[in-house]
Chains A and B, each alone.
Chain A
Amino acid sequence: MIDWTYSEGVYELTLATPPCNEIGTTMLADLRRFLDQIDRDAHTLILRSGLRQGFCAGADLRELYRGLCDAPKEQHGPQIRQFIDAIHGVMDDLDTLPLTTVGVVHGVCFGGGFELALTCDVLIAEKTARFCFPELRLGIIPGFGGIPRLRRDVGNGLIRDLLLSGRSINAKKAQAAGLVSQVVAGGEGITAARALAAQTAKFDPTARKAAKAFIKKLPADELLAERELFVRLAEGPALMAALKRFVESTDLRPYLP
Protein backbone atom coordinates (compact mmCIF):
# COMPACT_ATOMS: atom_id res chain seq x y z
CA MET A 1 0.00 0.00 0.00
CA ILE A 2 0.93 3.62 -0.27
CA ASP A 3 -0.28 6.50 1.82
CA TRP A 4 -0.15 10.22 1.41
CA THR A 5 -0.81 13.37 3.37
CA TYR A 6 -1.17 16.92 2.19
CA SER A 7 -0.54 20.04 4.23
CA GLU A 8 0.26 23.61 3.21
CA GLY A 9 1.51 22.80 -0.26
CA VAL A 10 3.46 19.69 0.69
CA TYR A 11 2.56 16.13 -0.18
CA GLU A 12 4.24 13.35 1.76
CA LEU A 13 3.90 10.08 -0.14
CA THR A 14 4.87 7.05 1.92
CA LEU A 15 5.47 3.60 0.44
CA ALA A 16 4.55 0.85 2.87
CA THR A 17 4.22 -2.47 1.05
CA PRO A 18 6.11 -5.27 2.79
CA PRO A 19 8.61 -6.74 2.51
CA CYS A 20 10.31 -3.76 0.86
CA ASN A 21 7.90 -1.83 -1.38
CA GLU A 22 8.28 -4.14 -4.37
CA ILE A 23 6.72 -2.55 -7.45
CA GLY A 24 3.96 -4.68 -8.90
CA THR A 25 0.50 -4.04 -10.29
CA THR A 26 -0.92 -2.87 -6.95
CA MET A 27 1.86 -0.37 -6.27
CA LEU A 28 1.60 0.82 -9.86
CA ALA A 29 -2.16 1.37 -9.57
CA ASP A 30 -1.69 3.17 -6.24
CA LEU A 31 0.93 5.51 -7.69
CA ARG A 32 -1.31 6.21 -10.68
CA ARG A 33 -4.20 6.98 -8.31
CA PHE A 34 -1.99 9.39 -6.38
CA LEU A 35 -0.80 11.15 -9.52
CA ASP A 36 -4.32 11.48 -10.91
CA GLN A 37 -5.50 13.49 -7.89
CA ILE A 38 -2.43 15.58 -7.17
CA ASP A 39 -2.86 19.35 -6.92
CA ARG A 40 -0.32 20.66 -9.40
CA ASP A 41 -0.18 23.98 -7.58
CA ALA A 42 1.31 22.34 -4.50
CA HIS A 43 5.01 23.13 -4.20
CA THR A 44 6.69 19.98 -2.88
CA LEU A 45 6.32 16.22 -2.99
CA ILE A 46 8.32 14.16 -0.51
CA LEU A 47 8.61 10.49 -1.49
CA ARG A 48 9.73 8.11 1.21
CA SER A 49 9.39 4.61 2.60
CA GLY A 50 7.62 3.81 5.83
CA LEU A 51 9.39 0.47 6.16
CA ARG A 52 12.54 -0.23 8.14
CA GLN A 53 13.87 -2.47 5.38
CA GLY A 54 14.59 0.33 3.00
CA PHE A 55 13.26 2.58 0.27
CA CYS A 56 12.33 0.01 -2.36
CA ALA A 57 13.76 -3.35 -3.45
CA GLY A 58 12.58 -2.99 -7.06
CA ALA A 59 10.08 -4.84 -9.18
CA ASP A 60 7.85 -7.48 -7.61
CA LEU A 61 9.66 -10.48 -9.07
CA ARG A 62 7.33 -13.01 -7.48
CA GLU A 63 4.28 -11.40 -9.05
CA LEU A 64 6.06 -11.15 -12.39
CA TYR A 65 7.01 -14.83 -12.26
CA ARG A 66 3.48 -15.92 -11.33
CA GLY A 67 2.01 -13.81 -14.11
CA LEU A 68 4.35 -15.26 -16.72
CA CYS A 69 3.79 -18.82 -15.49
CA ASP A 70 0.03 -18.38 -15.77
CA ALA A 71 0.16 -16.98 -19.31
CA PRO A 72 0.86 -18.84 -22.56
CA LYS A 73 4.35 -18.14 -23.88
CA GLU A 74 3.11 -16.05 -26.79
CA GLN A 75 1.47 -13.71 -24.28
CA HIS A 76 4.67 -13.03 -22.33
CA GLY A 77 5.85 -10.22 -24.61
CA PRO A 78 2.54 -8.33 -24.69
CA GLN A 79 2.08 -8.81 -20.94
CA ILE A 80 5.53 -7.42 -20.16
CA ARG A 81 5.04 -4.56 -22.59
CA GLN A 82 1.73 -3.61 -21.01
CA PHE A 83 3.30 -3.41 -17.55
CA ILE A 84 6.37 -1.55 -18.80
CA ASP A 85 4.25 0.99 -20.67
CA ALA A 86 2.18 1.61 -17.55
CA ILE A 87 5.20 1.97 -15.28
CA HIS A 88 6.91 4.31 -17.73
CA GLY A 89 3.77 6.46 -17.72
CA VAL A 90 3.89 6.71 -13.93
CA MET A 91 7.64 7.32 -13.79
CA ASP A 92 7.49 10.00 -16.51
CA ASP A 93 4.62 11.75 -14.73
CA LEU A 94 6.54 11.74 -11.43
CA ASP A 95 9.64 12.98 -13.23
CA THR A 96 7.87 15.93 -14.82
CA LEU A 97 5.56 17.05 -12.01
CA PRO A 98 5.55 20.83 -11.64
CA LEU A 99 6.25 20.36 -7.93
CA THR A 100 9.74 20.04 -6.49
CA THR A 101 10.11 16.34 -5.72
CA VAL A 102 12.32 15.13 -2.89
CA GLY A 103 13.19 11.48 -2.44
CA VAL A 104 14.19 10.31 1.03
CA VAL A 105 16.17 7.09 0.79
CA HIS A 106 17.36 4.66 3.41
CA GLY A 107 18.53 1.05 3.23
CA VAL A 108 17.81 -0.87 0.04
CA CYS A 109 17.27 1.24 -3.08
CA PHE A 110 17.67 -1.43 -5.73
CA GLY A 111 16.57 -1.94 -9.31
CA GLY A 112 13.14 -0.47 -9.91
CA GLY A 113 13.38 1.24 -6.53
CA PHE A 114 16.51 3.02 -7.68
CA GLU A 115 14.68 3.93 -10.87
CA LEU A 116 11.78 5.34 -8.86
CA ALA A 117 14.21 7.43 -6.76
CA LEU A 118 15.78 8.75 -9.95
CA THR A 119 12.52 10.43 -10.93
CA CYS A 120 12.96 12.81 -7.97
CA ASP A 121 14.50 16.25 -8.37
CA VAL A 122 16.53 15.99 -5.19
CA LEU A 123 17.63 12.91 -3.27
CA ILE A 124 18.33 12.92 0.44
CA ALA A 125 20.01 9.73 1.57
CA GLU A 126 20.36 8.40 5.06
CA LYS A 127 23.73 6.82 5.74
CA THR A 128 22.35 3.30 5.38
CA ALA A 129 21.15 3.87 1.79
CA ARG A 130 22.56 1.67 -0.96
CA PHE A 131 21.93 2.06 -4.67
CA CYS A 132 22.13 -0.81 -7.11
CA PHE A 133 21.09 -2.07 -10.55
CA PRO A 134 21.07 -5.88 -10.15
CA GLU A 135 19.09 -6.50 -13.38
CA LEU A 136 21.84 -8.26 -15.34
CA ARG A 137 21.50 -11.10 -12.84
CA LEU A 138 18.00 -11.57 -14.24
CA GLY A 139 19.08 -11.47 -17.87
CA ILE A 140 17.54 -8.03 -18.40
CA ILE A 141 18.45 -4.36 -18.11
CA PRO A 142 16.74 -1.82 -15.84
CA GLY A 143 13.40 -1.27 -17.53
CA PHE A 144 11.69 1.53 -15.62
CA GLY A 145 13.74 4.33 -17.17
CA GLY A 146 16.71 4.05 -14.85
CA ILE A 147 19.61 4.22 -17.29
CA PRO A 148 18.46 7.33 -19.19
CA ARG A 149 17.58 9.08 -15.95
CA LEU A 150 20.87 8.19 -14.31
CA ARG A 151 22.70 9.28 -17.44
CA ARG A 152 21.03 12.66 -17.08
CA ASP A 153 22.62 13.05 -13.65
CA VAL A 154 26.01 11.33 -13.55
CA GLY A 155 28.91 10.28 -15.74
CA ASN A 156 28.85 7.27 -18.03
CA GLY A 157 31.66 5.55 -16.11
CA LEU A 158 29.62 5.20 -12.94
CA ILE A 159 26.62 3.96 -14.91
CA ARG A 160 28.75 1.27 -16.57
CA ASP A 161 30.17 0.32 -13.19
CA LEU A 162 26.71 -0.06 -11.63
CA LEU A 163 25.06 -1.69 -14.63
CA LEU A 164 27.80 -4.08 -15.64
CA SER A 165 28.88 -5.17 -12.15
CA GLY A 166 25.51 -5.12 -10.40
CA ARG A 167 27.24 -3.91 -7.27
CA SER A 168 25.70 -1.47 -4.84
CA ILE A 169 27.18 1.84 -3.73
CA ASN A 170 26.65 3.66 -0.47
CA ALA A 171 25.21 7.10 0.18
CA LYS A 172 28.60 8.79 0.44
CA LYS A 173 29.75 7.51 -2.95
CA ALA A 174 26.39 8.40 -4.47
CA GLN A 175 26.79 11.93 -3.13
CA ALA A 176 30.34 12.20 -4.46
CA ALA A 177 29.02 11.16 -7.89
CA GLY A 178 26.36 13.88 -7.80
CA LEU A 179 23.44 11.49 -7.51
CA VAL A 180 22.54 12.37 -3.93
CA SER A 181 22.22 15.95 -2.67
CA GLN A 182 22.46 15.43 1.06
CA VAL A 183 23.60 12.58 3.29
CA VAL A 184 22.09 12.55 6.77
CA ALA A 185 22.09 10.28 9.80
CA GLY A 186 19.67 7.37 10.06
CA GLY A 187 16.09 8.54 10.65
CA GLU A 188 16.92 12.18 9.82
CA GLY A 189 15.98 12.09 6.15
CA ILE A 190 12.40 13.22 6.62
CA THR A 191 13.48 16.19 8.77
CA ALA A 192 15.90 17.31 6.07
CA ALA A 193 13.22 16.87 3.40
CA ARG A 194 10.69 18.93 5.36
CA ALA A 195 13.27 21.68 5.82
CA LEU A 196 13.79 21.71 2.06
CA ALA A 197 10.03 21.83 1.51
CA ALA A 198 9.83 24.88 3.80
CA GLN A 199 12.54 26.54 1.72
CA THR A 200 10.74 25.67 -1.53
CA ALA A 201 7.57 27.31 -0.21
CA LYS A 202 9.33 30.69 -0.24
CA PHE A 203 9.87 30.71 -4.00
CA ASP A 204 7.65 32.28 -6.61
CA PRO A 205 5.65 29.37 -8.09
CA THR A 206 6.07 30.47 -11.70
CA ALA A 207 9.85 30.79 -11.37
CA ARG A 208 10.12 27.51 -9.48
CA LYS A 209 8.18 25.58 -12.11
CA ALA A 210 10.05 27.27 -14.96
CA ALA A 211 13.43 26.46 -13.39
CA LYS A 212 12.57 22.79 -13.12
CA ALA A 213 11.18 22.58 -16.65
CA PHE A 214 14.30 24.35 -17.94
CA ILE A 215 16.88 22.09 -16.29
CA LYS A 216 15.14 18.71 -16.05
CA LYS A 217 14.20 17.41 -19.47
CA LEU A 218 12.67 14.00 -20.00
CA PRO A 219 15.16 11.90 -22.05
CA ALA A 220 12.28 10.70 -24.22
CA ASP A 221 14.25 9.05 -27.06
CA GLU A 222 16.47 7.09 -24.69
CA LEU A 223 13.50 6.05 -22.57
CA LEU A 224 11.78 4.66 -25.64
CA ALA A 225 14.93 2.81 -26.74
CA GLU A 226 15.38 1.38 -23.24
CA ARG A 227 11.79 0.17 -23.19
CA GLU A 228 12.21 -1.67 -26.50
CA LEU A 229 15.49 -3.28 -25.45
CA PHE A 230 14.01 -4.30 -22.11
CA VAL A 231 11.00 -6.00 -23.69
CA ARG A 232 13.22 -7.81 -26.19
CA LEU A 233 15.51 -9.14 -23.45
CA ALA A 234 12.60 -9.97 -21.14
CA GLU A 235 11.09 -12.24 -23.80
CA GLY A 236 14.26 -14.36 -23.80
CA PRO A 237 14.72 -17.51 -21.71
CA ALA A 238 17.21 -15.98 -19.25
CA LEU A 239 14.58 -13.97 -17.38
CA MET A 240 12.25 -16.90 -16.71
CA ALA A 241 15.15 -19.06 -15.57
CA ALA A 242 16.42 -16.32 -13.23
CA LEU A 243 12.95 -15.62 -11.84
CA LYS A 244 12.46 -19.32 -11.16
CA ARG A 245 15.77 -19.44 -9.29
CA PHE A 246 14.83 -16.34 -7.28
CA VAL A 247 11.35 -17.50 -6.36
CA GLU A 248 12.47 -21.00 -5.43
CA SER A 249 15.57 -19.86 -3.56
CA THR A 250 15.83 -20.54 0.15
CA ASP A 251 18.77 -18.15 0.41
CA LEU A 252 18.16 -15.81 3.31
CA ARG A 253 20.04 -13.06 1.53
CA PRO A 254 18.46 -12.88 -1.94
CA TYR A 255 18.88 -9.11 -2.15
CA LEU A 256 22.67 -9.22 -1.96
CA PRO A 257 23.80 -8.86 -5.56
Chain B
Amino acid sequence: MSTTLDTLIRLAAKRFGADPAQLRAEDDLFERLGIDSFQAVELISDVEDEFDVELPDYELQGIKTFAALAQKIDARR
Protein backbone atom coordinates (compact mmCIF):
# COMPACT_ATOMS: atom_id res chain seq x y z
CA MET B 1 0.00 0.00 0.00
CA SER B 2 1.28 3.42 -0.95
CA THR B 3 2.12 5.74 1.94
CA THR B 4 1.32 9.43 2.04
CA LEU B 5 4.99 10.15 1.58
CA ASP B 6 5.25 8.00 -1.57
CA THR B 7 2.17 9.58 -3.08
CA LEU B 8 3.38 13.07 -2.21
CA ILE B 9 6.75 12.48 -3.82
CA ARG B 10 5.14 11.07 -6.96
CA LEU B 11 2.76 14.03 -7.12
CA ALA B 12 5.51 16.64 -6.72
CA ALA B 13 7.75 14.85 -9.21
CA LYS B 14 5.00 14.70 -11.79
CA ARG B 15 4.10 18.39 -11.47
CA PHE B 16 7.66 19.65 -11.65
CA GLY B 17 9.14 17.06 -14.00
CA ALA B 18 11.49 15.44 -11.49
CA ASP B 19 12.49 11.80 -11.19
CA PRO B 20 10.65 10.43 -8.14
CA ALA B 21 13.40 7.90 -7.57
CA GLN B 22 15.79 10.76 -6.90
CA LEU B 23 13.61 12.41 -4.23
CA ARG B 24 14.13 11.50 -0.57
CA ALA B 25 11.94 11.99 2.47
CA GLU B 26 14.34 14.41 4.15
CA ASP B 27 15.08 16.48 1.03
CA ASP B 28 14.25 20.18 1.19
CA LEU B 29 11.43 20.05 -1.32
CA PHE B 30 11.81 23.66 -2.46
CA GLU B 31 15.51 23.29 -3.14
CA ARG B 32 15.27 19.77 -4.53
CA LEU B 33 12.46 20.64 -6.93
CA GLY B 34 13.89 24.09 -7.63
CA ILE B 35 10.51 25.76 -7.22
CA ASP B 36 9.60 29.34 -6.41
CA SER B 37 6.80 30.69 -4.22
CA PHE B 38 4.29 30.64 -7.07
CA GLN B 39 4.98 26.99 -7.83
CA ALA B 40 4.74 26.20 -4.12
CA VAL B 41 1.20 27.60 -4.21
CA GLU B 42 0.38 25.24 -7.09
CA LEU B 43 1.82 22.32 -5.16
CA ILE B 44 -0.39 23.09 -2.15
CA SER B 45 -3.45 22.98 -4.40
CA ASP B 46 -2.32 19.67 -5.91
CA VAL B 47 -1.76 18.20 -2.46
CA GLU B 48 -5.14 19.34 -1.15
CA ASP B 49 -6.82 17.87 -4.21
CA GLU B 50 -4.99 14.57 -4.13
CA PHE B 51 -5.42 13.90 -0.41
CA ASP B 52 -8.76 15.70 0.01
CA VAL B 53 -7.44 17.81 2.87
CA GLU B 54 -7.23 21.52 3.67
CA LEU B 55 -3.79 22.84 4.56
CA PRO B 56 -3.87 26.33 6.06
CA ASP B 57 -0.80 28.16 4.78
CA TYR B 58 0.24 29.27 8.26
CA GLU B 59 0.61 25.65 9.29
CA LEU B 60 3.04 25.09 6.43
CA GLN B 61 5.48 27.77 7.49
CA GLY B 62 8.74 26.15 8.42
CA ILE B 63 7.92 22.89 6.64
CA LYS B 64 10.75 22.14 4.32
CA THR B 65 10.92 18.39 3.75
CA PHE B 66 8.68 15.88 2.02
CA ALA B 67 8.51 13.92 5.28
CA ALA B 68 7.31 16.91 7.29
CA LEU B 69 4.69 17.77 4.68
CA ALA B 70 3.51 14.16 4.57
CA GLN B 71 3.14 14.23 8.34
CA LYS B 72 1.08 17.41 8.14
CA ILE B 73 -1.15 15.84 5.48
CA ASP B 74 -1.75 12.75 7.66
CA ALA B 75 -2.64 14.98 10.60
CA ARG B 76 -5.37 16.56 8.50
CA ARG B 77 -6.95 13.37 7.11
- Knowing A127-B49, A130-B44, A170-B49 are in contact, say whether A253-B37 is a contact too (CB < 8 A): yes
- Knowing A20-B38, A53-B38, A107-B42 are in contact, say whether A252-B30 is a contact too (CB < 8 A): yes
Do A257 and B58 touch across chains, with their CB atoms under 8 A apart?
yes
A124 within 8 A of B: no
A89 to B60, CA, bound (A): 37
The residue that B38 contacts in the complex, of A165, A167, A168, A255, with Cβ under 8 A, is A255
B22 within 8 A of A: no
Do B36 and A168 touch across chains, with their CB atoms under 8 A apart?
no
Q: When each residue 35-68 of chain A gets 1 if its CB lies under 8 Å from chain B and 0 otherwise, what string results?
A: 0000000000000000011100000000000000
Interface residues of B in 25-47 (CB under 8 A from A): 30, 36-38, 40-42, 44-46
Q: When each residue 3-37 of chain B gets 1 if its CB lies under 8 Å from chain A and 0 otherwise, what string results?
A: 00000000000000000000000000010000011
- Knowing A170-B48, A170-B49 are in contact, say whether A165-B56 is a contact too (CB < 8 A): yes
Do A54 and B41 touch across chains, with their CB atoms under 8 A apart?
yes
A171 within 8 A of B: yes
A254 within 8 A of B: yes
Residues of B within 8 A of A19 (CB): 38
A256 within 8 A of B: yes
Q: Closest chain A residue to B44 by CB distance?
A: A130
Distance in Å: Cβ of A15 to nearest Cβ of chain B: 14
Interface residues of A in 140-193 (CB under 8 A from B): 165-173
B61 within 8 A of A: yes
Distance in Å: Cβ of A72 to nearest Cβ of chain B: 34
Residues of A within 8 A of B60 (CB): 256
Do A166 and B58 touch across chains, with their CB atoms under 8 A apart?
yes
A257 to B57, CA, bound (A): 6
What does DSSP make chain B's interface, helix, strand, loop or mixed? Answer: helix
**Looking at chain A, what size class is its interface with the partner chain?**
20 to 34
A20 to B42, CA, bound (A): 14
- Knowing A128-B42, A168-B41 are in contact, say whether A256-B49 is a contact too (CB < 8 A): no
A148 to B46, CA, bound (A): 30
Do A168 and B37 touch across chains, with their CB atoms under 8 A apart?
no
Residues of A within 8 A of B74 (CB): none
A132 to B44, CA, bound (A): 13
A97 within 8 A of B: no
The residue that A256 contacts in the complex, of B45, B46, B54, B61, with Cβ under 8 A, is B61
Residues of B within 8 A of A166 (CB): 57-58
Distance in Å: Cβ of A102 to nearest Cβ of chain B: 21
Distance in Å: Cβ of A121 to nearest Cβ of chain B: 24
Do A167 and B30 touch across chains, with their CB atoms under 8 A apart?
no
Residues of A within 8 A of B40 (CB): 253, 256
A130 to B60, CA, bound (A): 15
A129 within 8 A of B: yes
A243 within 8 A of B: no
Residues of A within 8 A of B56 (CB): 165, 167
Q: Which 6 A-B pairs have the closest CB atoms?
A: A53-B38, A255-B37, A253-B37, A167-B56, A128-B42, A257-B57
Query: Residues on B close to A: CB < 8 A?
Result: 30, 36-38, 40-42, 44-46, 48-49, 54, 56-58, 60-61
